[in-house]
Chains A and B, each alone.
Chain A
Amino acid sequence: MPDWVEPVARYMLDVGLRNTLRTAAISVVLATSIGVVLGTLITIRFWLSRALIRGYIEIWRGLPIIVTLFIVHFGLPALSPKLEFDVFTSGIITLTLWGSAQIAEATRGAVQSIPREQHEASAALGFGWVGRHRYVIFPQALRRLIPPLVGLIVGIILNTTLIQVIGGSELLETAEQSIERLGSPPPVGLLDPHAFEILGAVAVVFFLICFPLTRLAAYLERRLVA
């Protein structure tokens, strides 16, 4: 293997991949929690909460994610200096807004697919609204929710690359930095950016993470929904 490979690979895996996975993990947890709660609350027949959650879903699902990132990273600090975040926090907020909107819509569909009799039966057993959803409705809705959820997790992982746009050193940014460095004249670089190998490697890493998850989503879809 050529000499340049080892330090570049070490940097991309130690710094880039680590940041990508950490950002994705935090965003997935936050987006899932918020999305599941909002998607359950929107099934309550009260116009104000419905309108607010519907607005949240349609806006953050409708905007290109890079526009949401612009709002979070440049718009919020213009409102108040207290709302200025580092690049990874901005990225996590952005991915959480997008992901929770997607998951809320999926949750709404799953919760509403549970027949009314289940609500009535659990109410007859003495469950309140929270207990009914916690112990009866949601566990059943989960079967329908999990396949699209796995798909959305893949979406969040792929979209962490957006943080590259604002300079956060996730996997794609560390790749770009390495390409720029290798392309510069010696002694810093080799005057050969090796963009093909490096970007190819980034694609391979994402593929190795996401392809099994995509297959899992398809498998769960057949197993759980049918």
Chain B
Amino acid sequence: MLAVTYDLGAYLSEHWEFLLRGFARTIYVSAIAIAGSFVIGLLLGAARAHRIPVLSQLAAVYVEVIRNTPILVQIFFLYFALPEWPGIRLDVFTVAWLSVMLWGGAFNTENFRAGFEAVPQRLREGALALGFSRIATFLNVTLPIGGRIALPSSINTYIAVVKNTALLYVIAYEEFYTSAYQVNALELATWETITVLGVVYLTLVWSLSALIRFAEGRLALPEAF
């Protein structure tokens, strides 16, 4: 049955535009979420590593709530619960980037915290002894060294963010998975759909993984550390 009906060429020539629009939304939402989770991770990771009172504790609660509840529940919560209380009604697109960004931000906070905490104390003391302020010490010593240590694990988080955008199907945000699903619902071209989904997501994910190995090679710290 499959051999008779499988026709990837016809499928692509008919639906490529629709699928491409979905793919563009996947990239768009991923880019916003990755940029946002980078900023969140950097700021809250620094707050955690330097034990800045109140902010550090709030960041810990945020991280644990996101890490220990399903992301689907988080997406539903933003979309269905917030309009009831405190009465914030977010449109589909806002929930789309916000939910994956908050998820990535929590995991990135842990990545950056671990990176900053791995910077040897003596390096920070050295900078302070040279008369650097605490902020200057962070910007010139802790950030460049700890940021490098955190880089591979944070790219892993960005890969997970890209994969999580497929879950936005549940609020009918038309990213790539949702688009492919809709094509299949009309055409019942299941294995053509699976081929396209598999090739696109695996290419995305595997390229980003290759980027980790590249970054690890290029940005590795000199042996002395």
Residues of chain A touching chain B, judged by Cβ–Cβ distance below 8 Å, are 58-59, 62-67, 70-71, 74-75, 78-79, 154, 158-159, 161-162, 164-165, 172, 176, 179, 193-196, 199-200, 202-203, 206-207, 210-211, 214
Contact = CB atoms under 8 A, between A and B. Distances in A.
A173 B77 CA distance: 13
Contacts, number: 113
A193 B202 CA distance: 39
B35 interface: no
30 contacts: A59-B198, A62-B202, A63-B163, A63-B197, A64-B163, A66-B166, A66-B177, A67-B194, A67-B197, A70-B194, A70-B197, A74-B184, A75-B190, A78-B1, A158-B70, A161-B70, A161-B73, A165-B169, A172-B70, A195-B76, A196-B82, A196-B84, A199-B73, A199-B76, A200-B77, A200-B81, A202-B73, A207-B65, A210-B69, A214-B68
A206 B72 CA distance: 12
B191 A78 contact: yes
Contact of A195 (B80, B191, B202, B206): B80
Contact of A58 (B2, B84, B206): B206
Interface in B140-166: 163-164, 166
SS class, residues of chain A in contact with chain B: helix
Q: Would you list the 7 A-B pairs with minimal beta carbon distance, nearest first?
A: A64-B166, A210-B68, A64-B163, A161-B70, A195-B80, A196-B81, A78-B190
B69 A207 contact: yes
A199 B166 contact: no
B80 A165 contact: no
Interface residues of B, number: 41
Contacts of A176: 76
Nearest to A211: B68
Contact of B170 (A79, A154, A165, A203): A165
B42 to A, nearest CB: 22
Contacts of B167: 64, 66
Interface string B57-95: 000000011011111111011001111110000000000
B201 A62 contact: yes
B27 interface: no
